Amino acid sequence: MFLRWMILVGILAATLVQPAAGYLVEGKLGYPIDRYGTKYSASSGTISVKLNLLRGHGSAPYYGSWGELTSAERSHYASLIAEAVEYWHKVPDCALKLAYGGTTKTSTAVARRPYVLVTVGSLPSGVGGVGYSSRYGSQSIPVGVIVRPGSGLGTFVHEIGHQLGLGHSHCGWALTYNSTFGYSKSDGAFMSYSRYYTGPTLQGDDLAAIASTYPGSTFGDRSGSISGELVKSSCKGIFGANVFVVDSHGKAVVARLSGMHEYASAALHGKFKLPRLTPGTYTLVAASPYDSTYRTGSPHGGYTKYDSYSPTSLAVSVIKGIVVEAGGDTAIGSIVAGTHKTLSDGGSSTPEPEAEPEPEPQDTTASRTLSWSPISGATYYYIQVYSHEAGKWVVRRAVSTTSVTFETTPGKHTVYLHAYISGRWWRVASQSMTL
């Protein structure tokens, strides 16, 4: 398995505004965290975060000289680490457990350890902190944090977030600063460089990232999700687009790169899932990370291996009226780039085929669940059931997978089955029956 080093840098320049594409999970922790092939779960133990009593001088991370922290510095930085750890430890519906583990003394700032080490040391100008990790498949192995002397609480929270497997989020404040959303300013994720507030506060995108990566037993009970796939007119998936949802207050709350859901490098696709959404009605936007209206700027801050896959231009899709309920996933189906529509019932955005002509009544009668064998290439099925009741035809419709049950009164019925293949609907079967 190919192993590569990753460096996630925190830049604290107050003038830096770099909104871009959605939260990114670089990998999941194992347990113990320094071993390959393990997996952190709800039954895993607590991850310890420790302070290095030595301060590094020279070029990070392999410093040429070391000195000891003063007693006052030890107390100050230990307090910051303990407070930063609590931000991630107390995320609702998350199984991850963290704790401040005290101090240790080492002149090796970056190495695989069964705990996370935070070292105070010199860093290049403008860099407040750096989180180092290695990658083994989909597993992220934290190998240490370095923070600049004098760094505040926010830097510690941010860099510890990187050690937990989170990349830079780009659910930034300017995603909604446009005419579509009345020039509303979103809060922006704390794991981004684009926040419209001060102080360390985990926002919806941060909470969704960590809780969905390490879901607890109650994850999803009080929240819902939106899923679908962004596709071209040819039905081919679009990987690397910025897909985000905006709540009823006009704020972008969770964003995701299309194709990062069930990501497989051998088969790029456009699937997405936006988790941990408060029940309500949302608007979904899918755009290029480089889109000038939805202000995504540089797509991933230049820190991920997915940059080259993101489309440089893309027809924007805006889907309004998506209803999210607690404990469920609202599947909106395939979205062809450039689609603009409102879902009145929160259901699928896949277009319905044209209605069939009303059939002639048939002489027959019983009750059944309709099912059929999967059809090659079909991504959705659409059923139309024409029922002859009280002297007139009544039509019932449903989008389903390979079976559907209708509540009807006994009578004559004709069924039409449609399949969505290669970007269009095809009628593939019809049958008359009695129920």
CA–CA distance, 194 with 289 (Å, rounded to integer): 14
302 Ramachandran zone, left/alpha/beta (phi>0; psi -120 to 50):
left
* Nearest alpha-carbon partner for 201 in 248, 168, 154: 154
pLDDT one digit per residue (tens) for the chain, 435 residues: 333 334 444 433 222 222 233 455 657 899 999 998 889 999 999 999 999 999 999 999 999 999 999 999 999 999 999 999 999 998 989 999 999 999 999 999 999 999 999 999 999 988 889 998 887 777 889 999 999 999 999 999 999 999 998 887 778 888 888 899 988 888 888 887 666 665 678 888 999 999 988 999 988 889 999 999 999 988 888 988 889 999 999 999 998 888 876 554 446 788 999 999 999 999 999 998 888 888 754 444 434 455 567 788 889 999 999 999 999 999 999 999 999 999 865 444 445 455 555 555 454 444 567 777 787 777 777 777 766 665 555 555 556 667 766 666 666 777 777 777 766 667 667 676 666
pLDDT (tens digit per residue) in 238-264? 988 889 999 999 999 998 888 876 554
Backbone angles phi, psi at 74, to 5 degrees: -60, -50
pLDDT of residue 144: 95
pLDDT of residue 360: 52
pLDDT of residue 195: 64
pLDDT of residue 94: 94
pLDDT of residue 240: 85
Dihedral sign (CA 240, 340, 193, 299): positive
CA–CA distance, 284 with 254 (Å, rounded to integer): 10
The residues near 182 (Cβ < 8 Å, ≥ 6 apart) are 250
Considering the entire predicted model, what is its pTM? 0.72
CA–CA distance, 58 with 412 (Å, rounded to integer): 84
* Helix-strand-coil split of the chain, %, nearest 5: 10, 35, 50
pLDDT (tens digit per residue) in 54-72? 999 999 999 999 999 999 9
Q: Where are the domains of the chain?
A: 27-163, 173-342, 369-434
Architecture of domain 173-342: Sandwich (2.60)
pLDDT of residue 46: 96
